[in-house]
Amino acid sequence: MLTSEDKARYAAFKAKDTRFDGRFFVGVSSTGIYCRPVCRAKLPKPENCTFYATAAAAEQAGYRPCLLCRPELAPGAAPVDASATLARRAAALLEDDCGSGQSLEEVASRLGCSARHLRRSFVAEFSVSPVQYLQTCRLLLAKNLLTDTDLSVIDVAMAAGFGSLRRFNDLFKKQYRLAPTALRRQTAGVPGRGGDVTVTLGYRPPYQWQRMLDFLAQRAISGVEVSRDGEYLRTVRLVTAEGQIVRGWVRVGHQPESNALTVTVASALLPVLPQVLARIRHLFDLHCDPQAVEEVLASMNNIRPGLCQPGARLPGCFDAFEMSVRAVLGQQITVKAAGTLACRLAEVYGQPIESGIEGLTRTFPAPEDIIALNGPIEEHLGPLGIIGTRANTILTLAGALSRGELDLSFRAHPEAEMKKLMTINGIGAWTAQYIAMRAIGWPDAFPHTDYGVKKALSPRGPGEILALAESWRPWRGYATINLWNSLAS
């Protein structure tokens, strides 16, 4: 007998409503598989359906993933509350770094708690243990790679974080009742180009793709990133779990008919593939539920018709230090001028890279690269046109990130990190809000003193703007993007 909540979920499953994609999964007892609520397979009877909050919970109940709707492509949960639970912060960390081979103790240490407390909190939130959740993350990534790429099975196992091919094969067969090689034969992985890997990441429609590209293109750092022909491309510098620096590039395209992005990753980045995909999800705001945002922000259209456009996304970032430096450089100057300064910084202190792609020539300097400069920082950055106060702000920011005193990751606590940012000389409220919006992905960030915000809401003063924006919580960051977009229109 279905509960009232399960009846509502079944109705959403029957309607194939994309608003519910990723919010629950459906275990079908008659087939032994579990599906996304948007699955186009024949609708099962209500009595054959069991509903789960996560893919991990469905797998622990004995179900294997559907080969048609592919649960690994489901969007994640949108970050609504700043004080996210410990379990959800841990889940984000496990998803981001599932290929690193980290232990539960290491995860707990990074979150500032004991492994026992983390395990207890995780089971209470998700009904599965952290180890089981991590196992599902790795299996779903491996399934994605087996289906979408022509990587060898052993390369898939390593990229997904399994320590050995034997362990991967055993676990895959146990969970999915299918050998990895058998899945590969069924799905015929898509050939890559020169060893590069292309995977698909889903989102909840609508999605204003061109708006996102325009935003990124206006702020692109020459040599590091480029937007052209409906795609976004950039260079990448990341560090493996063993401390090895790897460099490469990524290309992101749009498949509107599939409600998905295609992400092509250079083969050199396979050791950090989960990190790359997590950052792409953050950069392009794939966790967003546009329906939930629109329900709150539709009142913006009372100010001016069309002010709130469905499908506007909150642009994140791929590299928090890179974006934060650009935010500091952009204080009180134009977007174009800030881009020129960031380009000079990358040209002089970034690392050259042979990408084979026009416009991608170097990676942006890491915090450690800035800290390692000998002598006063003004002597290094001054000749680039960066004034002394901002040069010192960049140095302080690099030091705080390098030492772990500042956390600008997607899973950080926004209010706490904004307070830390504002203790840095040269970072005020506008910069802290902007960094929280894009680096941390804080959906309620609101730089109310921003020139564009004030212009879009003219003739209101700062106090009136703040009061007006109270009704836009917890999506004031999306309101900001809509206000900026209205000026572009």
Where in the sequence numbering do the catalytic residues fall?
Answer: 35, 450
| Distance separating alpha carbons of residues 410 and 91, to the nearest angstrom | 12
Q: Phi and psi (nearest 5°) for 230?
A: 75, 15
| Distance separating alpha carbons of residues 226 and 316, to the nearest angstrom | 16
Radius of gyration for the chain, computed over Cα atoms and rounded to the nearest angstrom: 23
| Distance separating alpha carbons of residues 389 and 379, to the nearest angstrom | 12
What one-character-per-residue DSSP string does 375-425 give?
A: S-HHHHHGGGT--HHHHHHHHHHHHHHHTTS---STTS-HHHHHHHHTTST
| Distance separating alpha carbons of residues 466 and 470, to the nearest angstrom | 7
Answer whether 244's CB lies under 8 Å from 348's CB: no
Tokens of 60: 């622990």
Picking from 467, 381, 394, 483, the residue whose alpha carbon sits closest to that of residue 435 is 394
What is the CA 446 to chain-centroid distance, rounded? 20
Answer whether 390's CB lies under 8 Å from 324's CB: no
Pairing relationship of beta strands 362-363 and 197-202 according to DSSP bridges: unpaired
| Distance separating alpha carbons of residues 324 and 427, to the nearest angstrom | 10
